[in-house]
A = this chain, B = another copy of it.
Amino acid sequence: MKADALRGHLDSLILAVVEKQPLHGYAIIEALSARSGGELDLPTGTIYPALRRLEKAGYLDSSWSEVGGRKRRTYELSSAGRRALATHRQEWKTFSQVVSGVLGEA
With contacts A92-B99, A96-B99 known, is A5 near B1, CB below 8 A? no
Q: Is the CB of B19 within 8 A of A99?
A: no
User: What is the interface size of chain A, counting residues whose CB is below 8 A from a CB of the partner?
Assistant: 35
Interface residues of A in 12-66 (CB under 8 A from B): 12-13, 16-17, 19, 32, 35-37, 39-40
- CB<8 Å pairs between A and B, sample of 11: A4-B8, A5-B8, A5-B9, A6-B7, A16-B102, A16-B103, A32-B102, A35-B101, A35-B102, A40-B98, A88-B103
Interface residues of A (CB under 8 A from B): 1-9, 12-13, 16-17, 19, 32, 35-37, 39-40, 88-89, 91-92, 94-96, 98-104, 106
